[in-house]
Structures are given as C-alpha cells and as structure tokens.
Amino acid sequence: METRSARTFYRIVSADPPKERDFWSHQQLGRVLRDPSPRSRDQWSGVSVYDNESDAVNLIRQFPRIGQWIAEVRIDAQLAIRIEKTGSKQDSHHTIWADGGTLLSCVVAVRPVAQGDRR
C-alpha cells in the first residue's frame, strides 16, 4: 500500500487567527477577472499559495496591504484537493481549488511578518 504524505503551503492572511474569507478565491471575493482566457479564469477561481515561505514573505514586503500574517497550511494527501504549480519556474506559487473552510481547517500555524523580515 502506498503512503502519501502531506504537502505544506504558505498563504498570506489578514489576521491571527485567520478567517475562512482568507481562503476565498478572487472569484468568491467578487474581484474582477481581468483576463478572460481559460487559464486565467481557472486560476481566478482558485487560491494562491506558496510552497516556500520566503516567497510569501517577499510578496508581503512588496505589497504590505495584502496582509501581514502567513498561515502554514498542511494539505493531507488523502484530501481530494486539486493543487497545481502556477507560478514561474523561479517562484513557488501554486493554486489550490478547495472550499475555504476546508483550507482553514488545514492551518497548522500562523506567524506575523515583521517590518524588514526577509527569509
């Protein structure tokens, strides 16, 4: 029998503890879809995460208004959740398609990103 482990991702969130809304897609949040291509529409309906915490920290440094907390999200391999690498080869961006409540239940830790914090 094959044993698959959990995968860990990092999501920028607005507070500790995070809310289900922190795990909503741009579509669920009512944000405008700027590019109607099928790939963009697909990503618009998913949730952005990183598999490298430093990439999430660096994004907060560039755009502090998006959040000041990072939630560590551990997705058990047994959950039927679609995950795809959607960033460039240079970054660790992924998109996850799952219910916000399900993702919130996968949070194992939350940490603040202090001013000047770069990993």
In a domain, 64, yes or no: yes
Number of domains in the chain: 1
What's the token pair of residue 106? 């996968």
Q: What is the pTM of this model?
A: 0.89
pLDDT computed for residue 114 by the predictor: 79
In a domain, 1, yes or no: no
pLDDT computed for residue 88 by the predictor: 82
In a domain, 103, yes or no: yes
Which residue range forms the structural domain that includes residue 31? 8-112
In a domain, 2, yes or no: no
Q: Report the alpha-carbon distance of residue 86 to residue 95 in Å, rounded.
A: 6
In a domain, 42, yes or no: yes
In a domain, 3, yes or no: no
Report residue 43: phi and psi, to 5°.
-65, -35
Q: Report the alpha-carbon distance of residue 11 to residue 107 in Å, rounded.
A: 9
* Regions of the chain short of the pLDDT cut 50: 1-2, 118
